[in-house]
Structure 1
């Protein structure tokens, strides 16, 4: 009676001891639980064994019967007759060894987690019967069941077996790709929790079900081998101009379309040619891990192992990445290991206890985002996160991970007041556990995928973020230069008449430009939440706003460091970004916006084709100031150099609307300089002020250089002169 009560109330934690075949020396007993059954027959397909009927203990609801010992080990099927219907299925509880196989090697390497846990498509028995093996970590649960359409979401029918490692396992035969499922979990006191999506689910549905779906990662056939082989070059010496995109609002379907979003396929058809034409080297996607709330832009992920189904299935996302690679475009995704939301179907209090998050809210609750913080000291959580990083590089051929909110992970007092945080063992504010996790993640990424990259969004002066772990660093490949972004935007937002008083803002970044491997970001965060658009930040009248933006873009592409610009900036989007609507592409009907777009396009192509602008991005040898003291005229000038001095580019930025027809510029050698790009050109919507197209050096010392040239410097413009 006690056994039946456990089964009837879905509180059974060891179903293999109660159900399935149970052998003695002379007989084999088979037990089955089907609360709706009137009778159950056992058969051994493709054998000569006669069917047997299981008897029902009417007070217990448990069917049982004896089978010949000669049937031991043979796969049997149960045929169930109910009041309304008859159906057959292969009994899951005869596959104990196959179920337990999931946990044999699960903790020996981080990548084993996504190879073993979740819903894995396998075959069982000698005749390769298709099946799905479920494995979920819920160490403090009293009972866990797999539920789905296949069992009418009835938690009594497929109880899972708890293992000594805290994982629950079960193999269900004939359950194939596409089936929806969740886990019914009861906490340590037996209370049923909201149904949970699979933390390792490879595919997921949107609201209202938020169900996980069985998915086959081995089916997709990649066609990007050429790209994957060639991406192994030295990224620090290569051009990297990143187009940051929110897939849901880059473009929207036509007004009369029934779909809310473009699909992955539609994005591949439209976005990739645009990125290629504009000259960007990489796409960076705001988080694609499944997330429930559109307004989070993906930064509140729940399904860390599933690309969002808003735009299509996992194969469609693979197709998008594949198409990018075939077009010569790298794909970076934003990755969020810092925190996760409290949605009932997600990770929060997964088995009724704090499985994934710190228990103490002073460490486990993020006040800025009202979300849970991962417990970076717990080995199972660490493996979960490192495995997830490897997963995207492995299964989706992602080229890089931009790790979100690194600063919030590094510091225990991040966004907290006195008394709201717990010091580390040394009394400090550094989160040693998070630091250790980030180092491990980077080590694993570069060990398995040395041709990929990791990029830290880190806004503090934490040392050696982009230095190897063996040198005491965090191990990232690159770090966002938030200081450059803050200072340069503060400067460019000033009216040109006042910029002379803030000259240090535009030059200070070179004090630390080579301390890290920097990416210069103008990201989505700068054009949302009341910050306005990039064009709107610029002072002056309509013409001066556009000229300021073009001049600033030129400065950015000339400055050491890789480049990142958020979508819409490249054509001067006038309004602040709204995640719920497409960009204002109709602005390109106007010359001003078309000219801004042409500026970014020309800058991208110049940057990519000019070694001096990218080969030594992270070395003092690639940069030299000519004049950074000219605050009175708000002009800066510098030289960028290629390896071994094979090429030089002289750059002058005039941050006022005053032209200088006889501007002298120091140069390092005899010869001629050719104008490669002028952001004031008529082709970009500029004033087309008469500018020197070619200048020959004279033996007149200037800017501490032995030679100099005289050029005509246009207003509010950046000019690039290249040595022959």
Structure 2
């Protein structure tokens, strides 16, 4: 780094430094645990004078001026701190609510108005100014040691702008609207978590937040940071945890934001073979630069500490792990060993988890990772990346492919439903039916199902019951519970009118019952990563497209047996082995008229007979409803 000479003290400014020696050293080393406490804008008192301290990292800039509504938007020279590459200025009298920007003359000589990377509130385009916010919350005391509790996780994934628009079709909901309507809705349906598509500020609404420019700012589209905090608090009060989609994989090239921030490739790589994603026309963070890692690691901790966020789902992890991601030969740079793995990104992800698990061990992390990269959910100390859960993209692709087939062909593709159990214990998985499956011409989940409309609805109900019984955490994107027939549209709210149709209302009722039963039955969540908690009963009846398995809890009486008949044929007298004697209750039947089905079943229960089958001492003859899934429990169990 070749910094400019130390700037003189700006006229009229105080001589005290905002960035002390220790902070300067930590920032220079990229080891400042909470860099947002010194960078950005902070109301404070210096030498007995109240005002706001501003600080921005721009080590190669020739000059940086602070401009805002407190100085008539006339650039005011900032003071350069060469030991850490930061420019700082204290402005007496500037307070909460003031708007500002940085006028950066870069190493290339150009003047560009930049938004503060550490802004906690920013203006929407075209303004893009940052706002001085209320003082930061004190860092809470760390919780207990990081663990993965054996508790249910049923996630409702939401795009805040298009869930419901109570003020009209062209008005986005506020955080207070969402606290009033979304929180009780999700809690009432029995979900345990709300996952929000990225809320960090982003200039392009149609990016859904996946091209963020303000990583420390909740988007102003839904209100103030204080309103977002009220939303999180309301969710917690209702028993819901909040997961945010977090995007350290890439950022847009908008001139007002991080791109060439000081006239050089500061946050990104200079070489497009390392620093540009052609898939998204976005830039890639330089994970090998410790100040950039500090910016990102600090951001992960910021959301947890400052807003009480319970978890982060990290987007596009695969694009971070591989240098040749979506690149043809000759258009990527190998690592130091000549391979394709991105060692710097791997080190960054491990550092994120080391910090979170030490400073905020209550936080959960989930990886959207679509390759066979090993030990994504392995402990960092054991060579893993440290995530708590990983999206099971293989399960999702195979399962949706199966349910999209005409049942007459399913016998030839039986393995699409069984193959996931070959690797189910290799990671701690989450089963995602996410927004990615209902966009870009893919249609809706209902539209993917085979058959006429009755069969499509039956298939969809069976799919949900199959997913909720299968090992792995659960995720549904909003609208799935309505059996939405059209692809998700971010420019309008969900088609709530569908609930006037009993068939669609029945699907919503089923999702609520699945959530409640999933949470109530320890066998369906308490041993999700234990291979001894699962046993196939019927795995090879491809001819009839019937499958059955057992989920075991800690106690034998917690056992749940799941049977699926994935053809439109009713099967009478179909015998399945059972792990207990006595009477078994039909606790869930997706063909119930309660859910819009034809009400074929077993009159609520079956009696296990002393007829060994499927490796069990007992069995029972079932009536299997068409395109349906049954859940059964021993009658003595009252939960």
User: Given the two structures, how large is their TM-score scaled by the length of structure 1?
Assistant: 0.85
Aligned to 1:103: 24
**Separation of aligned partners in 1, 2:108 and 2:116:** 22
Indicate if the aligned counterparts of 1:374 and 1:381 stay in contact, CA closer than 8 A.
Answer: yes
SS of the aligned residue for 2:44 comes to strand
Query: In the aligned structure 1, how far is the partner of 2:184 from the partner of 2:79?
Result: 49
Query: Shift of the alpha carbon at 1:452?
Result: 1.2
**Structure 2 match to 1:16:** 8
Q: 1:425 to 1:219 in 2, by over 3 A?
A: closer
Which of 576, 583, 587 is 1:672 aligned to?
Answer: 583
Residue 114 of structure 2, aligned match among 192, 196, 203: 196
Shift of 1:616: 0.7
SS at 2:312 equivalent:
strand
Equivalent pair of 1:650/1:722 in contact (CA under 8 Å): yes
- Per the TM alignment, residue 352 of structure 1 is displaced from its structure 2 partner at its CA by 0.7
Judge conservation of contact 1:105–1:112 (CA < 8 Å) in 2.
no
Shift of 1:351: 0.6
Choose from 50, 53, 57 the match for 1:137: 57
Picking from 42, 51, 59, the partner of 1:120 is 42
1:154 and 2:86 equivalent? no
- For the pair 1:464 / 2:378, whether they are aligned, the reply is no
SS of corresponding position for 1:374: coil
1:245 matched to 2:158? The reply is: yes
**Which of 484, 491, 503 is 2:414 aligned to?**
503
C-alpha change, 1:12 and 1:416, in structure 2 (3 Å) is closer
- Report if the CA contact (8 A) 2:551-2:560 is conserved: yes
Kindly tell me the number of residue pairs found equivalent between the two proteins: 631
SS of structure 2 residue aligned to 1:628: strand
CA distance in 2, matches of 1:108, 1:12: 20
Q: CA deviation at 1:111?
A: 2.6
- Distance, in Å, in 2 between the alignment partners of 1:170 and 1:712 is 76
Cα offsets for 1:423-459 (capped at 9, x unmatched): 1111111001000100111111111111111100000
Structure 2 residue 283 is matched with structure 1 residue 399: no
1:410 aligns with 2:284: no
Deviations 1:614-666 (CA, angstroms, capped at 9, x unpaired)? 11111112111111111000111000010243410000011111111211110
| Post-superposition CA distance 1:279-322 (Å, at most 9, x none) | 00000000000000011000000000011010000010000000
Q: Distance in 1 between matches of 2:184 and 2:166?
A: 17
Q: CA deviation at 1:235?
A: 4.2
> 1:712 Cα deviation (Å)?
1.4
Partner residue, 1:208: 126
Structure 1 residue aligned with 2:216:
305
Q: Tell me: CA distance 1:683–1:335, structure 2 relative to 1, closer, same or farther (3 Å).
A: same
Query: Could you say which residue in structure 1 is the equivalent of 2:354?
Result: 443
State how far apart, in whole Å, the 1-side matches of 2:337 and 2:180 are: 54
2:14 maps to which of 81, 90, 94: 94
* CA displacement at 1:233 relative to structure 2: 9.4
Q: Is the 8 A contact 1:13 1:144 kept in 2?
A: no
Partner of 2:280: 369
- Contiguous gaps of at least 5 residues in structure 2: none
Residue 538 of structure 1, CA deviation: 0.7
Q: Which residue of 1 aligns with 2:631?
A: 720
CA 1:319 to 1:232, structure 2 compared with 1: closer, same or farther past 3 Å?
Answer: farther
Q: Given that residues 459 and 627 in structure 2 are in contact (C-alpha distance below 8 angstroms), is that contact kept between their aligned partners in structure 1?
A: yes
Residue 462 of structure 2 corresponds to which residue in structure 1? Answer: 551
Taking the aligned partners of 2:455 and 2:68, their CA distance within structure 1 comes to 60
Match of 1:266, SS state, is helix
The answer as to whether partners of 1:13 and 1:160 remain within 8 angstroms in 2 is no
TM-score by length of 2: 0.96
Alignment of 1:233-272 (within 5 A): 235-255=148-168, 260-272=171-183
Distance 2:527 2:135 in 1: 40
- How far apart, in 2, do the equivalents of 1:175 and 1:96 lie? 17
What's the CA shift string for 1:239-292, capped at 9, x where partnerless?
10000000000012343x7x7211000110000110011000000000000000
Q: 1:688 to 1:221 in 2, by over 3 A?
A: farther
Deviation at 1:699, TM superposition (A): 1.2
| Contact 2:4–2:61 (Cα < 8 Å) also in 1 | no
| Structure 1 unaligned regions, length at least 5 | 1-10, 20-31, 33-90
SS in 2 for 1:543: helix
1:163 and 2:82 matched:
yes
